[in-house]
Structure 1
């Protein structure tokens, strides 16, 4: 009896329409676990469904559009209107929606962030750049070490006249002068 059900499931699976929404995680921690297990980069999309100005173009997210290689990424779609979505977006310090983050295949380093309207060409370019999930492709900012100057620097000094120089015997500070009266 079990073998009949397995046969029916095997025959029915290829004929059922493939839905791209099955590949998308709504839970960030599950998506990170998949990233680590499959050693794939993670694509995280933050948006607010129902708000056209804060929602990523749905055509960019469909596998049929050919806009990106669906099998190259673990996928996570966060609805930023829910309490959970707000917490995750806050953790990523997202201030503008839609927002896309690409995370390396170890699940620990954000390789790229893109906020606001994303064009099809920009989407394709960014996803192709990071499809391997290597940190070497990360957009980084380098900071140089400070340069030591060989020229002498001027540091002003203030000296107060002392009683031995014929000046004041009381301190210059107004508070101290009031106390010493």
Structure 2
């Protein structure tokens, strides 16, 4: 009984620890492409400043599940965008703020996903699952979409609001005053 319980605890702690291990990083883009061709895995290129910058690609850090996916399902390349060469590579990927994620298909020839900036942690995990799926076929490059809802009143041809926002006093010649 105690032996069985001990084995279960050991197995679960190995999986837990496994989630925090660093992915194996390829030393260069050329080497990563060779590994992609031989292993038929998609490539995850993480562009971020600093040697440990890859950890900052997600808002709250890379979650354990995402780290496991990177390690098991991807050929990984981190490009340090604090260096001149890293900045040049970021520009070649059309990333403007020095941080981003690019995922290729299993041939390394097509971009499956591209994002400029960091991602919500759950979105990172979702994208890594999606593009590592063996049946995923790349037809175009996807990007991370953020939704934005704006509740502005309609604007007249004179550039003024045609109706006051609910719960506000509306002064056509001045600002709205909330009560």
Which of the two has greater helix per residue?
Answer: 1
CA distance in 2, matches of 1:97, 1:133: 30
Shift in alpha-carbon separation, 1:103–1:133, aligned structure 2, 3 A: farther
- The match for 2:73 is 72
Residues 41, 105 of structure 1: 8 Å contact kept: yes
**Alignment map for 1:11-90 (pairs within 5 Å):** 20-21=21-22, 23-49=24-50, 55-57=56-58, 59-60=61-62, 65-67=64-66, 68-69=68-69, 70-90=71-91
Aligned counterparts of 1:137 and 1:127: Cα–Cα separation in 2: 14
Instruction: Quote the Cα distance in structure 2 between the aligned partners of 1:51 and 1:75.
Output: 14
User: d(CA) in 2 for partners of 1:22 and 1:43?
Assistant: 11
Aligned CA distance change for structure 1 residues 32 and 20 (closer, same or farther; 3 Å): farther
Partner of 1:122: 123
Q: How many residues align?
A: 121
Q: Per the alignment, in what secondary structure is the counterpart of residue 57 of structure 2? A: coil
Secondary structure at the aligned position of 1:34 is classed as helix
Structure 1 regions of 5+ residues with no counterpart?
A: 1-16, 142-181
Separation (CA, whole Å) in 2 of partners of 1:50 and 1:25: 13
1:138 and 1:88 mapped to 2: Cα distance?
Answer: 24
Secondary structure, aligned partner of 2:77: strand
- Alpha carbons 2:90, 2:98 under 8 Å: kept: no
Q: Distance in 2 between the 1:48 and 1:134 partners?
A: 33
| TM-score, with length taken from structure 1 | 0.56
Q: Give unmatched runs, 5+ long, in structure 2.
A: 1-16, 143-179
Cα RMSD, aligned residues only: 3.2
